[in-house]
Amino acid sequence: MTETIYVSVSANPLDLQAAYDFVTDPEHGAVDVFVGAVRDHHEGQSVSGITYDVHEELAEKIFLKICREAQKKWDGIHIYMSHYKGQLDIGGISVIIAVSSAHRAESFEACRYIIEELKKRAPVWKQEHYEHGPSEWLPGHSLREAVGG
Amino acid sequence: MNEIAIHMKLFGTFRKFGDVLDFTVPAGSTASFVKKMMSNILSGGESSLVFDSVLADDNAVLPDTHVFKTDARLSILPPVCGG
């Protein structure tokens, strides 16, 4: 049986071609790819890079859960989901989500769903490094809601 | 009452306290109580951050009502911001 979901946390540079190659399928006429990259500013400060901290074992389980939810919503899609762990400079790729489907609507919608759920649910944290001033861990979404807290 | 050992891995903003914390709690403690113990140990005014955080093992996030009867290897997860 062909695998239709790939998830990973990686300390190696993320690979766009690998994402495309995994999801492509002769029956699919659409591939949507989301790439998250480190930008050089945040709330008026010049950013020099970001360190990503990740609970790897749990993150991969939650990635898989999110992908299975997406496949229930959009039947037949193929999904590649990989998040970087470690330090990145400006322009570095932090996350790749690729989704393929028979037609474009499903791949656009599923890709959006997956990145939004990742941001709310995945155990990943960003420490921003600034040109001027000390590094800071960014605030985020509490996981208390996920367990009814 | 028996004490159990908690081995807590730290992530995100909690890294400023190190990579792990080891401490003991009474057997039968809830996750909520374990978090209170952590607040006491992290004497840096982190009680609201600990409150907004959750405990997890390597398989799932645990509710505050979860009861620990034996030694546990856990993680404390502050609010997340991946992507």
Percent of chain B with pLDDT over 70: 98
Q: Is the pLDDT assigned to residue A149 strictly greater than 70? A: no
User: CATH assignment of A5-134?
Assistant: 3.90.1170.40
Domain ranges in chain B are 3-77
Residue B44, pLDDT score: 64
Q: Are B34 and B68 in contact (CB under 8 A)?
A: yes
The residue among A147 and B53 whose pLDDT is bigger is: B53
Confidence class of residue B46 from pLDDT cuts 50, 70 and 90?
Answer: confident
Q: Do B64 and A139 touch (CB under 8 A)?
A: no
Give Cα separations from A72 to A45, A106, A110, A113 (angstroms). 41, 12, 10, 12
Give residue-wise pLDDT tens across range A6-35.
Answer: 999 999 999 999 999 999 999 999 999 999
Give residue-wise pLDDT tens across range B3-24.
Answer: 999 999 999 999 999 999 999 9
Q: Is the pLDDT assigned to residue A69 strictly greater than 80? A: yes
Confirm or reject CATH 3.40.30.10 for domain B3-77, answering yes or no.
Answer: no
Chain B: closest CA distance from residue A31 (Å)? 20
Contacts of A149 in chain B (CB under 8 A): 54, 63-64
Euclidean distance between CA atoms A53 and B19, whole angstroms = 12
Domain ranges in chain A are 5-134
Range A112-141 average pLDDT: 97
Q: Do B75 and A115 touch (CB under 8 A)?
A: no
